[in-house]
Amino acid sequence: MTQKIIILDFGSQTTQLIGRRVRELDTFCEILPYNKFPVGDESVIGVILSGSPYSVHDPEAFKVDLSQFVGKVPVLGICYGAQFISHTLGGKVEKADSREYGRANLQTVDTTNPLFKGFEQHSQVWMSHGDTITAIPEDFKVIGSTKDVTNAAFASTKQPVWAVQFHPEVYHSLQGTQLLKNFVVDICGSKQEWSAASFVDSTVAELKEQLGNDRVILGLSGGVDSSVAAVLLNKAIGNRLTCIFVDHGMLRKNEFQQVMEDYRCLGLNVIGVDASEKFFGDLAGVTDPEQKRKIIGRDFVEVFNAEAKKITDAKWLAQGTIYPDRIESLNITGKVIKSHHNVGGLPEEMHLQLCEPLKWLFKDEVRRVGRQLGMPEHLIIRHPFPGPGLAVRILGDITRERVRILQDADDIYIRGLREYVDADGETLYNKVWQAGAILLATVRSVGVMGDERTYEHPVALRAVTSTDAMTADWAHLPYDFLAKVSNEIINKVRGVNRVCYDISSKPPATIEWE
C-alpha cells in the first residue's frame, strides 16, 4: 500500500506548491477539497491544511471536521489552516492591524521541536494573511515567533498537531523545504519510495492488469504529456496501442511533420489526420477565448471520434491528463478557471473507457518518467504548448494568414532561444519553462519601412521561468537576444512591424494571454 500525505485544499493559490514540495521528498500526496477527507484510508500517514482566501470568521469560510484525522495521524496547518486549528480548538483569531504580507524572520525558534529540527535562528519566512492568531488553544505551546507575530508557529503538547502562520511551500521561506521534510519524513514516517522508477514499474503493472488484451486509442498532441503517456502504454501493451495525432492547423511551424517523425522513431503506431479545413471553418469570426477553446475541443472530439470508429475493436481511450489539469480545471468553489482540452470525460457516443496513466503526476515528474523510459531529450524538454495551439495566442478571430504570421514569428523566436548559449554554457530554451509569441491581431500599430508608413500588427513575446506553472516569473532574457529576435521578426515576417516583450508574472497574469 502506497503511503500518502493528504493535502486538504481551502482555496489557496499555493496549495499545488505544497503538493510539489511533498513530491520532491519522494512521497506521494493527494490534494483534495477541504471537505473530502478519505475517512478510513489506512494509507494516509499525515494531513496538511492549506491556506485560504477566506478569514475563519467569514460566513462562507470553508470548514472541516478536525476529529476525522486529529489524534489519528500527524497534522500540519499552514496559514488559514493554522488559524482554523486555533479557532476551532479554543484559541483566538483576530483581524491584524495591517495585512501581514511578505518576508519576515523567525526571531525565536524552538529547534528542539521536531518540526524545526535543523533550523537556524532568524530564518526567513513568507507571510500572507489578514488575520492573526492572538491566543493559541490550551495544551498548545509556541515554537516560533517573528517580530510582529508572537504565535507564528505552535504545537500541541498532547497530540501530533503543528501549525504555522507562514507559507513553508514558497521559495521565499528559505528553510521551508526543511520544515516540510521534518513533517513528512520524520514526523509522519514517509519511507520516501515515490520515484520515477517506482512509478514506471507500478504503472506498467497496473496498465497490464487494467487493460488486459484490449486495444487502446490515444490522442497525441505533440507535447511531453501525451508523448510520455504513449511510450508508457506502449511499454505495457505494445502494438495494442493506436495513437491518433490530429492537426487542427494551429500547431507551430512544421510541427506536424516533425512530431510524426519523432513518434515513428519511438516505434509508436501513429495515424496522422489533417483536419485544418474543419477547424478554420468553425473558428471563422470567433474572438472569445473560451469559445475558441470550446469549438476546438468539440471539433477535436468529432475528428478523433470519426478516426477512432475505424478501430472497431478498441475499448479504451487514453489521455495525457496530468494532476494540475484536474486540479486547475475546477476549483473547490466549483467555478471553472479555464477549460482544459483533455479534462471532463468522454462523449457518450464513443463508448470507450477512460485510461489516464499520468493523472497523478506534476509536469516535472512527467519529464522524469520520460527520462526513465529512455525517451529522447528533445521530446522531454519541449515547452508546454496549449491544446488549442496558436488559436489562443492570436487575439482576435482566426484566419490562415494570421496563423501563418504567428507561426513565422514564433519560429524565429523559438529557434533563437535554442541557439543562444549564455555564459553558463546553457541555451536560453533550456532555462525557460515556456515561451511563445502572441499576435495582437485586433491592433494595428504605425511604423515606417523604407520611405513608407505601415499599419501592421504588433507581436508580443512571452517567456517565463517556473517549476510547476502554478506560479511563474517573466524570464530576464538578454537585451542583445531580444534586439536580434525583434529585428529578425520585423524584417522577415510580413504583417508585423512592432515587437514587445511581456514582463508580467503569474499571478496576477497567466502564462497564456487567452
Catalytic center residues:
79, 167, 169
CA 280/CA 296 separation, integer angstroms: 10
* CB neighbourhood size of 173 (10 A): 23
Pick from 273, 218, 265, 264: nearest CA to 240: 218
Rg (CA), the chain: 25
In the block, cell 520544515 appears at 179
* CB neighbourhood size of 329 (10 A): 16
Pick from 381, 412, 378: nearest CA to 481: 412
Do the beta carbons of residue 369 and residue 232 sit within 8 Å? yes
Query: Cell triple for residue 201?
Result: 514499474
Convert 6-59 into a string of H (helix), E (strand) and C (coil).
EEEECCCCCHHHHHHHHHHCCCCEEEEECCCCCCCCCCEEEEEECCCCCCCCCC
DSSP strand pairing (215-220 vs 241-247): parallel
CA 154/CA 75 separation, integer angstroms: 12
CA 211/CA 232 separation, integer angstroms: 13
CA 441/CA 496 separation, integer angstroms: 10
